[in-house]
């Protein structure tokens, strides 16, 4: 629950299990340059994709409380895994708007000429009932190759552009798709857009890669308008970075992925 009624010039709180949500933050900052943004990277607890549902729910509520205590007027769950596992619960416990992220299945089915699409995501996302419903709603008529991509998000946490191991894993994970004329590949985890170069190298230049940063940013814009919460400032918004981890290597990953050095505040304890 927010401590007081949200105000339109309050910040938007955005979080992910780690650095992956920076791919969403970038687009929100581009679409809404005057908004003040808070980003929380829960890297001490990444990856979420292999944690229990109860753990993910608890952690997401703690992060939501932290961001609300920093006056967030709306929340963006910049993580497919956290959205599938925890957003419904979070909505029951807070009365500010919460925007989630989910694999871009509907646009993928529209774009595919071969009627065969691939989806790369975490174990939790692929095996969630929310994801199954999404497939049933939009993709019952086409072939979908779902691949649980163990380890990839962890690699991005440490090696922002990937490493040899991620290349080997991508080759392995996409083998069946490559053999079956998949022409659209959905990046169903916000860490994976940072591996675009490696994925293209393996899949070939013809592949259409779908990530969700821009649609999510536009959705945030709409939701703020609907709630009369769009900021009125004409100045460029501030972006503040928080993390549950503060090793130099982690800070360096954030700098590389964000494209410049920023101050990352370490948060020891959230509840």
- The catalytic site residues sit at 79, 189
Q: Which is nearer to ligand DGL, 11 or 100 (CB)?
A: 100
The interface region with ligand DGL, picked from 59-67, 109-117, 129-137, 186-194 by CB under 6 A, is 186-194
183 binds ligand DGL (CB under 6 A): no
Q: Which is nearer to ligand DGL, 43 or 230 (CB)?
A: 43
Q: How far is the CB of 49 from ligand DGL (least distance, A)?
A: 3
Q: How far is the CB of 216 from ligand DGL (least distance, A)?
A: 11
Q: Which of residues 52-91 bind ligand DGL (CB under 6 A)?
A: 79-81
The interface region with ligand DGL, picked from 11-19, 87-95, 102-110, 165-173 by CB under 6 A, is 11-19
Token look-up 């013809």 returns: 206
CB contact set of 243 (below 8 Å; sequence gap of 6+): 40, 41, 42, 43, 44, 250, 251, 254, 264, 265, 266, 267
189 binds ligand DGL (CB under 6 A): yes
Phi and psi of 107, rounded to 5°?
-60, -35
Q: Give the C-alpha distances (Å, rounded to integers) separating 28 from 6, 61, 219, 222, 258.
A: 19, 22, 10, 12, 13
Q: Which is nearer to ligand DGL, 7 or 55 (CB)?
A: 55
Annotate each residue in 115-144 with x if it binds ligand DGL (CB under 6 A) or - if it does not, as one string: -------x--x-------------------
Burial class (CB in 10 A: 0-12, 13-18, 19+), 107: middle
Q: Which is nearer to ligand DGL, 190 or 251 (CB)?
A: 190
Q: Which residue of 46, 76, 77, 203 would you call a contact of ligand DGL, by CB under 6 A? A: 46
b/e map of 1-20 (b: 16 or more CB within 10 Å)? eeeeebeebbbbbbbbbbbb
250 binds ligand DGL (CB under 6 A): no
Rounded Cα–Cα distance for residues 64 and 82 (Å): 12
Q: Which is nearer to ligand DGL, 155 or 184 (CB)?
A: 155
Rounded Cα–Cα distance for residues 215 and 183 (Å): 21
The interface region with ligand DGL, picked from 89-97, 135-143, 183-191, 261-269 by CB under 6 A, is 183-191
Rounded Cα–Cα distance for residues 20 and 213 (Å): 11
- The structure tokens listed for 35 are 């908004």
Q: Which residue of 27, 166, 190, 243 would you call a contact of ligand DGL, by CB under 6 A? A: 190
Q: Which residues are bridge partners to 187 per DSSP?
A: 120
Rounded Cα–Cα distance for residues 98 and 87 (Å): 8
Token look-up 């955005």 returns: 14
182 binds ligand DGL (CB under 6 A): no
Q: How far is the CB of 42 from ligand DGL (least distance, A)?
A: 8
Binding stretches for ligand DGL (CB under 6 A): 16-18, 20, 46-49, 79-81, 122, 125, 153, 189-191
């Amino acid at each position: 629950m927010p401590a007081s009624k949200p105000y339109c010039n309050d910040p938007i709180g955005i979080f992910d299990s780690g650095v992956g949500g920076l791919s969403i933050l970038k687009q929100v900052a581009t679409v809404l340059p005057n908004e003040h943004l808070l980003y929380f990277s829960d890297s001490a607890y990444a990856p979420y994709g292999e944690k229990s549902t109860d753990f993910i729910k608890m952690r997401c509520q703690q992060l939501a409380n932290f961001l609300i205590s920093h006056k967030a007027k709306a929340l963006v769950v910049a993580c497919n895994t956290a959205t599938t596992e925890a957003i419904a619960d979070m909505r029951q416990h807070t009365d500010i708007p919460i925007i989630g992220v989910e694999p871009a299945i509907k646009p993928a089915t529209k774009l595919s000429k071969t009627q065969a699409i691939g989806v790369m995501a975490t174990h939790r996302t692929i095996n969630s009932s929310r994801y199954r419903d999404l497939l049933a709603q939009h993709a019952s008529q086409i072939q979908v190759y779902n691949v649980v991509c163990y380890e990839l998000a962890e690699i991005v946490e440490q090696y922002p552009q990937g490493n040899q191991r991620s290349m080997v894993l991508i080759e392995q994970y996409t083998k069946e798709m490559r053999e079956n004329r998949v022409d659209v590949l959905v990046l169903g985890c916000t860490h994976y857009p940072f591996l675009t170069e490696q994925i293209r190298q393996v899949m070939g230049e013809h592949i259409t890669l779908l990530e969700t940063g821009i649609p999510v940013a536009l959705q945030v814009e709409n939701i703020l308008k609907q709630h009369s919460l769009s900021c009125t400032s004409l100045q460029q918004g501030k972006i503040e970075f928080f993390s549950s981890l503060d090793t130099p290597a982690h800070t360096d990953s954030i700098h590389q992925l964000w494209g410049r050095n920023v101050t990352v505040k370490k948060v020891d304890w959230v509840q």
